[in-house]
Amino acid sequence: MSRIAVYGAGSWGTALAVILAKAGREVTLIGRDAAKIAKMKSLRENLPYLPDIVLPDNLELTADPAGLKAETVILSVPSQSVRSAVRLLKSHLQPGTVLVNTAKGLEEGTQLRLSQVIAEEWPGVPLAVLSGPSHAEEVARDMPTTVVVAADLPLAEKIQDLLMTPLFRVYTNPDIIGVELGGALKNIIAICTGIADGLGYGDNTKAALMTRGLAEITRLGVSLGGNPLTFAGLSGVGDLIVTCTSLHSRNRRAGIALGQGKPLPEVLQEVGMVVEGVRTTKVAYEAGRRREISMPITEKAYEVIFAGKDPRTAVTELMLRGKRHELEEVAQLALADKMK
C-alpha cells in the first residue's frame, strides 16, 4: 500500500488525513509548528481547525519531514506558501514521489498557477491537483463528498484509486489548467456573494453573481488554456455553488463583513484563517486587464477590497452597465452567420 504524507495541518490537510487513515491508509500528517503538533498528539484533536473531530489512532503526527518515506505527498498549505513548502519538501523526499496539490489560488507577483510554481521549484516531479466542492468540516464528519483530481490520466487514475473512499468520491480530469483556475477564481465570486449578503440583498442577487461570475471565470480560464467544459464541472460550478452559499466558506464570511462596512484588516482578523480570494482578486484583476478580458464583477471586487469603493456603489455600477447579450460569444457567431 502506498504511504501517504499530508503536509499542512490546517483544516483541509487534517480532514484528508483523517478520512484516509479511517479508510486504512498508512498516513502521516506533517505540521509546521512543533508545539501545535505536540498538542494534537496529546488531545488526538486539532482544536483550532477541526474541533470535535477525533484523530484516528493509526494517524501519525510529526513536525519533522526529515527521513519521511512516502510515495505520495498531499500538499495542503495556503497558496502563497506553496513555493516555500516545495523548496522544503524536495530535500526530504525520494525521487519519484508524487505531489498532490490541494491549494486553490494564484501566486501573487508572478500570476502563476500553483502547478507552474511547483514545476519551477521541482522540475519533473509527478504532479496532480485535487479540487472540487469539499468543505473540510463536512469531509471530516463523513458527509458524502465528490472531488476531482487533475493530471495526465494514468497518474490521475492512480491518485483516484488512492484517495477514493465510500464517502469521498474522486473523479478524474486531464485539464489541470481549468481545474486550477476554477478552484482559484470561484473564491472571488464567493467574496462578492458574501458582500451581497452583508448588504442585505437576497437570493436573486446571489444567483446573478454566481451565474455571471461563472461566465467571467470561464472567459478568463479559456483564455489561459482551460477547457470550457471543465468550468461546468466539480472544480467550476460545483465549487462555486458550495463556496458562495455556505457559512463554512471563509471567502463568503469575509464578504459578509466587507458588505457590513468593516475594513479589510478587521475582516481578515475576524475570519482568523487565510482568505484565498483576497489575493486571487488582485491577481485575476491584473490578468484580466492584461489580456483585455471582460470581468466586471472581479473589477468591482478589486475596487471594494483594495480601493475602498463603497460596496453598494459597486453593485449600482454593475447594474447600470451597458446592455449585453447573455451569451456574447454565441450572439457574435450568430451575427457573423447573418452577415455571410
Cell 483594495 sits at which residue? Answer: 306
Angle at the Cα of 132 (from 131 to 133), degrees rounded to 5? 140
Q: Which of 194, 184, 193 has its CA nearest to residue 256?
A: 194
Active site residue 206: no
Helix (H) or strand (E) holding 14: helix 11-22
Cβ-count burial of 286 within 10 angstroms (0-12 exposed, 13-18 middle, 19+ buried)? middle
Cell 502547478 sits at which residue? Answer: 115
Sequence letter at residue 86: V
Query: Per the residue annotation, which of 186, 206, 282, 300 is the catalytic one?
Result: 186
Residue 122: count of CB within 10 angstroms of its CB: 17
Contacts of 132 (CB under 8 A, 6+ apart): 145, 146, 147, 148, 171, 183, 234, 235, 238, 239
71: DSSP letter: S
What are the DSSP calls for 116-140, one per residue?
A: HHHHHHSTT--EEEEESS--HHHHT
In the structure, how many helices (H) and strands (E) does the chain have?
Answer: 15, 8
Q: Determine the Cα–Cα distance for residues 178 and 283; give it in Å rounded to an integer.
A: 16
Catalytic residues: 186
